[in-house]
Amino acid sequence: MLSSAHLLRRSTIHSAENSGLYSGMTAGEFQSALNPAAAESAHIVHLWWIFFWVTLVIFALVAVCLFIAILRNIRRGPDDAQLEIFAEPTQATETRGRNVVSVLVIITVLILFALLIADFVTGNAIYATPDPNALAIKITGHQWWWEVEYKDPQPSEIMTTANEIHVPIGKTVKLELQSADVIHSFWVPNIHGKKDLVPGHPATTWFTANRAGEFRGQCAEYCGEEHALMRLVFVAEPEEQFSSWLATQKKSPREPSTDPQRRGRDVFVSAQCVMCHTIQGTKARATLGPDLTHIASRKMIGAGELPNTRGYLAGWILNASALKPGVHMPPTQLSSDDLNALLDYLESLK
C-alpha cells in the first residue's frame, strides 16, 4: 500500500522534473547517455551506436533465416520435413552444412574481434593522459548524498558544497572519488560513464564538458534504502559564469540583515542543526551532513530530490524522513516562529 509520504514523494519528484530545471530539457535528455555534453560521453555514445547497429543487423539476419526455414518446412508439409530429419545425410549435404557453419563461425569471430577493437579504441580515447592543469574536485559518497570539494593548493581556498557540481566548459576536470560508508557509483550519463566509489579505494576519472547545460547525475550502485534518490545536479557553464559561481561559493555568506534572519541564525546554532552541518562564518562546523554555507544558491534539496523552495525546505527540516524514508536527518521540533525565522535565514544564504 502506498503511504501519503510515498504519494507526496512521487508527485514532488514529478514536479521537479517539470519545474523548469535542467534548462527546459525532458527527462530523456537531461539524464541520457545518448545526449552527450562532454568529449568522453561522445566517445561512449559512438561505441553504443556501433554495438546497436551491428547487433540489430545480426538479429534481423537471424530472424530472416529462421523465418525462411520455417516457411520452407511449412510448404513441404509435415511428412516431408519428418523424412528429411530422419534420412541419412548424403556426402553433399554434410559438406555443404560444414561449410556454412565454418563460414558463419569465422564471420562471428571477426565481428566480435571488430567490436573488441572498437571497445579498446573508445577506452583509450576516454582514459586520456592526465592534465596537470585540470580542475580537481573531490567527491565523497555518503548514504544518501554527495559531498563535493573544490580542491586548491591553498587550504583557505578549498570550497565544500553538496549535491551540486558546476564545471567550466572546455576545461579538463579531474574527479577524485571516495566513499564514506558503502559502495556508491558516480554517474552523470550526459558527461561520462559510471565510476564506483569504493570505501578505502580512492578512484580518479577525467572529463571535459563541451557544451552548457544542466544535467542530472544518479548513484548507479545499490547503496541502501534511498539509493534511487541519491542524485545530483550537474551544471556545465561558460568559464566566466563558473568563476563567478566559484568565487561566491568560497566566500562566507552575507551577515543576516533582518531581525528574523538573525533570529534564524540563533535558532540554527542553538538547535540540533549544528551537530551535523557547517555554515561558514558561524560556529556550525560539523561535517556529518551536507555543508549549508550557500544552501540558498542550490537548485534542489535532499540530494536532487526536491526543488529548493521554502515549503519543501520547511518540510525537510521538520521531518525529512517523511520526504525521504531512511534519511539520517532526525526530525526537528520548532515553534512556527522559530521555523519561519530559520527559513528566512537559510533563504538568505545565497
Shortest Å, Cβ 53 to ligand CUA: 32
Q: DSSP secondary-structure letter at 305? A: T
Integer Rg of the chain from CA = 28
- Give 215: exposed, middle or buried? Use CB within 10 Å, 0-12, 13-18, 19+: buried
Note whether 16 binds ligand CUA by CB under 6 A: no
Note whether 141 binds ligand CUA by CB under 6 A: yes
Note whether 222 binds ligand CUA by CB under 6 A: yes
Q: List beta partners, residue 176.
A: 138, 204
Number of residues that bind ligand CUA (CB under 6 A): 9
Residues 192-221: x where in contact with ligand CUA by CB under 6 A, - otherwise, as a string? ---------------------------x-x
Note whether 223 binds ligand CUA by CB under 6 A: yes
- The nearer residue to ligand CUA, 305 or 338, going by C-beta atoms, is 305
For the chain, helix, strand, coil in percent to 5 are 50, 20, 35
Note whether 324 binds ligand CUA by CB under 6 A: no
Shortest Å, Cβ 70 to ligand CUA: 46
Task: Candidates 167, 169, 191, 230: give the one binding ligand CUA (CB under 6 A).
Answer: 230
- Copy the grid coordinates of residue 19: 519545474
Q: Which long-range contacts link 112-117 to residues 24+ away (Cβ below 8 Å)?
A: 114/54, 115/50, 115/51, 115/54
Q: DSSP secondary-structure letter at 155? A: G
Shortest Å, Cβ 324 to ligand CUA: 13
Shortest Å, Cβ 184 to ligand CUA: 3
- The nearer residue to ligand CUA, 22 or 144, going by C-beta atoms, is 144
d(CA 107, CA 333): 70
Q: Enumerate binding residues for ligand CUA (CB under 6 A).
A: 141, 144, 184, 219, 221-223, 227, 230
